[in-house]
């Protein structure tokens, strides 16, 4: 039987509501600086929720040409920015690697919604149907399709290996990273850039989540609207951005003297088969998912130091996820540090799993567990150690990251402190 190829994380890049690079993102996460404010992209008054975690100061021209800037949807521009940051951070040299053994796996939960809305508005506002049809942009389809983030990143980096894109709502980025991890394990590539990107804060995107009654209505205190596991949580805060990691086969990384953040050791996924948008209250899918990931990693539950929870700040998710953690870890669940960084970043939808995996990698590297901010009122249904409000210095040897998406998609990734 062939030896399992080990996979390590060597590069990180992020474009988030609390920083357009990983340094600023991590600083905000650790210090508990919320990225939520009153929505500015359009007039929020007609909506029941009026707060969001928007990107601030992102300059796409640092990463794409002026022509590309005009022709790409924001979610693709965010992905290219995060991927180029991760590539630079990894120290890879495109002239010294096998580009046919280097791949990309970057998804999006929703894709080019800005493009869809803008093009549709132009079409219906043109009274002459013949003129309306002729004004449809030839870039409409390539601007809106989800796989274009992965496709354009591969073009920008020159990566000619496996290229795909997951589309599993809020589990997208974690599925993308998990699948990329397995691609390297199976010896189908040596290097993968993987993650997710989202730019869905538009009138229809935002309004759709409002209509679902999924978003927080704490409009008078935007910075406190996202409050995972808190008794007064009333919905998630919609965010936007991208996060990408570079992962490599261990010997490939060692040979070039790469900085290794941590090792990826486990990947689990499952389906609830329960409801279109609500999680299974019993948490059976999340339970199976965590167990599969730990089994894949060959790690006992009591060896886990930190869980970066999906923790959306919704009444259903946080209660369910707490119960699922208890079901997997038993009494040990009360000894594990559990936190949700969504209190700071808001919910980045299809990008959230990658941003949270980076937070896990930084927790291992910096020996600091990020807090769950806005935790003020304990909920009897959520009674674990959520690292309330203040970061905690602690050595982290093993951490898991949960991502759960509409449609019943569940993903767990397991990271481990690297040892030769």
What gap in Å lies between CA 229 and CA 235, rounded to an integer?
11
Closest C-alpha to 415, from 359, 352, 376 = 359
Closest C-alpha to 312, from 250, 413, 260, 239 = 239
What gap in Å lies between CA 361 and CA 180, rounded to an integer?
17
Closest C-alpha to 353, from 127, 174, 134 = 174
Angle at CA 134, nearest 5°, toward 128 and 140? 125
Other C-beta atoms closer than 10 Å to the C-beta of 35 total 26
Helical residues (DSSP H) of 332-376, grouped into ranges: 342-345, 352-366
Alpha carbon 186 to chain centroid, angstroms: 24
Coil vs helix vs strand at 204:
helix
- Give the residue numbers annotated as catalytic, written as ranges: 170, 310, 347
Token reading at 248:
């490599």
Q: Are 373 and 313 in contact (CB under 8 A)?
A: no
Backbone angles phi, psi at 39, to 5 degrees: -60, 135
What gap in Å lies between CA 98 and CA 90, rounded to an integer?
15
What gap in Å lies between CA 247 and CA 191, rounded to an integer?
6
Other C-beta atoms closer than 10 Å to the C-beta of 21 total 17
Q: List Cα–Cα distances, 400 to 172, 195, 250, 252, 282, in angstroms.
A: 16, 16, 20, 25, 20
Q: Are 288 and 294 in contact (CB under 8 A)?
A: no
Closest C-alpha to 13, from 376, 367, 351 = 351
Q: List Cα–Cα distances, 411 to 155, 365, 385, 403, 418, in angstroms.
A: 28, 23, 22, 5, 22
Q: Are 222 and 36 in contact (CB under 8 A)?
A: yes
352-366 vs 22-31: helix crossing angle, rounded to 10: 80
What gap in Å lies between CA 14 and CA 110, rounded to an integer?
18
């Amino acid at each position: 039987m062939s030896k399992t190829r080990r996979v390590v994380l060597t590069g990180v890049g992020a474009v988030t509501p609390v920083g357009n690079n990983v340094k600023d993102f991590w600083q905000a996460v650790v210090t508990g600086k919320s990225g939520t404010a009153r929505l500015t992209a359009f007039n929020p008054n007609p909506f029941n929720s009026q707060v969001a975690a928007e990107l601030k100061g992102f300059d796409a021209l640092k990463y794409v040409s002026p022509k590309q800037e005009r022709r790409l949807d924001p979610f693709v521009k965010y992905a290219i920015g995060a991927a180029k940051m991760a590539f630079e951070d990894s120290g890879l040299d495109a002239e010294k690697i096998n580009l046919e053994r280097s791949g990309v796996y970057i998804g999006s939960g929703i894709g080019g919604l800005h493009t869809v809305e803008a093009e549709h508005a132009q079409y219906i506002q043109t009274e002459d149907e013949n003129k309306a049809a002729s004004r449809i942009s030839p870039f409409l389809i390539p601007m809106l399709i989800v796989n274009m983030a992965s496709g354009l990143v591969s073009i920008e980096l020159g990566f000619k290996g496996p290229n795909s894109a997951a589309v599993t709502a809020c589990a997208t980025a974690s599925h993308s990273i998990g699948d990329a991890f397995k691609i390297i394990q199976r010896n189908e590539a040596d290097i993968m850039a993987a993650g997710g990107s989202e730019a869905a804060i538009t009138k229809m995107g935002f309004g759709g989540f409002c209509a679902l009654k999924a978003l927080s209505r704490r409009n008078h205190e935007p910075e406190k609207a996202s409050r995972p596991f808190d008794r007064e949580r009333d919905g998630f805060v919609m965010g936007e951005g991208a996060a990408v990691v570079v992962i490599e086969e261990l010997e490939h990384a060692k040979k070039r003297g790469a900085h290794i953040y941590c090792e990826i050791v486990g990947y689990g996924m499952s389906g609830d088969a329960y409801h279109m948008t609500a999680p299974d209250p019993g948490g059976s899918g999340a339970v199976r998912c965590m167990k599969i990931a730990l089994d894949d990693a060959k790690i006992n539950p009591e060896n886990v130091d930190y869980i970066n929870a999906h923790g959306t700040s919704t009444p259903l998710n946080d209660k369910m996820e707490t119960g699922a953690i208890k079901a997997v870890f038993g009494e040990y669940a009360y000894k594990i540090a559990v936190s949700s960084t969504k209190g700071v970043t808001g919910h980045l939808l299809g990008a959230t799993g990658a941003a949270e995996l980076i937070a896990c990698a930084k927790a291992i590297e910096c020996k600091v567990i990020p807090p769950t901010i806005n935790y003020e009122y304990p909920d009897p249904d959520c009674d674990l150690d959520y690292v309330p409000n203040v970061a905690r210095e602690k050595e982290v040897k093993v951490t898991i990251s949960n991502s759960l998406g509409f449609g019943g998609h569940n993903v767990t990734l397991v990271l481990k402190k690297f040892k030769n």
